[in-house]
Amino acid sequence: MRGFDPRFAKSIALICLPAAVSVFAGVYFLVREVPAIVRQERRRVVEEYRAKAFELKENPSIGTETERGKGGVWTSAGKMAPGRWGYGETGGGKALVWYAEGRSRKALSLEVDVVREKDYALLFNIAVPSILATVVLLSSIGIRYFTVYVKSRDDFLAASAHDLATPLVGMRFAIGRDDETAKALNERMMRLVANICDFLKLGGKRPPPKREAFNFADAYSEAYRIFAEDYRDVFGGEDVPVLFDGCAKGDLAVEADETLAVQVVWNLLGNDLKYAAPFGRVAAVFSKEGSRVVLRLRDEGKGMSRREMSKAFDRYYRAKTVLESGKGGFGIGLCTSREFAAAMGGSLAVSANEPRGCVFEFSLPAAGSGA
C-alpha cells in the first residue's frame, strides 16, 4: 500500500468537503439562528395575547371584571399605556388575558384559547444533527468506496507487473545477441513494467533520486533508441528531428538522476508515438534557459483542450481523444513522469502547439547551477 500521496489526500479532502461545509453550516445555524427563531416565536405568542388585551382596553364590554392577581393565575407580561396587562394558562387549553388601568387591582379579564408556542428548538436540535449525521455517513461511505476502488486498481497493476516481469526476464536471456529489434521490444516491455512499479511507489518510501552530471541530449538518444524503428515506420524512414535552440549539444549538461530522466523521456516519446505521430510530425527541441536545460517535444497531433491539458498529469486520466482512439494505456505514464521531474528539481508541463498539437516541456537543473 502506498504511503502519503498528495493527490490521493486531495481526492479524499474533496469527498469530505461537502460534509465539512454542511457540519459548519449546521453548527452555525444551531448556535446563531435557532435561538433567534425561538425568540421570534416567543414574541409571536406574546403579541397574540397582547392583541387580546388591547381588545379589552378598547372594548371593555367583552371582558369580565375581576381582581388582578386573584387565584394566582396572573402573569405580568408588560405595559400597555395607560395600564398593565398579562396572561396565564388556566388549563383545558384555555388562558386568561387581563388588562388593568394604572396600578389598580381591578382588571378586566377574557378567556381565550391558549396560543401554542412551537418548539423550534427541539425540532432543529433533532433535525439538524440527524441531517448532518446522514451527510457524514454518506461521505464516509464515499471515502470507503474510493479507497477500495483505488486499492483494487493498484493491486491489479501490481499483480500485472509481477506476472509480466518473470517471463520478460526469461525472454531477455533467450533473445539472440544480434536480434536488436527483439531486444528493443523486450526493453520497452521491461520499462513498461518498471513504469507500473514506480507509479505504485509514488508518495511512498522510494529512495531519493541521484544527483549526477550527464548530457541531456544523450539521455534523450538512449530513450529514443527503443522507439526509433517505430517512428521511422510512421515517418517514412525518417527519425524525429532533434533541434538545438541557441545552444550546442555539448552545452546540455544537467545534474539529475539519469535513469529517471531517461524514463521520463521514454514516457513522453511513447505518448507521442501512440497519440500524436500518426497525425503529424514530432520534433525534439533543446534549449538552455538560465539555470535550466529544457527539452520540448513538439507534435502536430490532434492536441488537447484546456481542460484536458489541466488534467493530463492526473492519476489514471486519459483524454477523450485517447479513449476514442481505442489505444491501450493505464493513464499513469505522465503522472509518473511529472513526479520524477519534480523529484529531480525539474518540471514537466504541457501547452498547446501552433497551429495544432501539443508541446511537452521537460526541464532539469543545469550542471553547476546549484538548483
Average pLDDT over residues 203-219: 79
Which pLDDT score is estimated for 361?
Answer: 96
| Closest by CA position to 112, among listed 66, 61, 49 | 49
Which pLDDT score is estimated for 152?
Answer: 65
Which pLDDT score is estimated for 1?
Answer: 40
Which pLDDT score is estimated for 226?
Answer: 80
Pairing of strands 253-256, 242-245: unpaired
pTM for this predicted structure: 0.53
Euclidean distance between CA atoms 53 and 63, whole angstroms: 10
Helix axes 333-343, 258-275, angle to 10 degrees: 150
In the chain, where the domains are located: 6-120, 207-365
Is a pLDDT exceeding 80 seen at residue 239? yes
For 16-29, letters b (16+ CB in 10 Å) and e give: beebeebbeebeee
Euclidean distance between CA atoms 300 and 279, whole angstroms: 7
CB 327 within 8 A of CB 275: yes
For the segment 114-137, what is each residue's pLDDT rounded down to a tens digit?
888 888 888 888 888 888 888 888
Residues forming beta bridges with residue 242, ordered by sequence position: 284
For the segment 74-91, what is each residue's pLDDT rounded down to a tens digit?
556 666 666 788 888 888
Element (H, E) at 67: strand 64-67
Q: Is the domain defined by 207-365 classed in CATH 3.30.565.10?
A: yes
CB 15 within 8 A of CB 139: yes
Which pLDDT score is estimated for 206?
Answer: 58
What phi and psi values does residue 170 have, to the nearest 5 degrees? -65, -40
Pairing of strands 83-91, 106-113: unpaired
73 contact partners, CB below 8 Å, separation of at least 6: 88, 89, 90, 96
pLDDT band at 364 (very low <50, low <70, confident <90, very high): very high
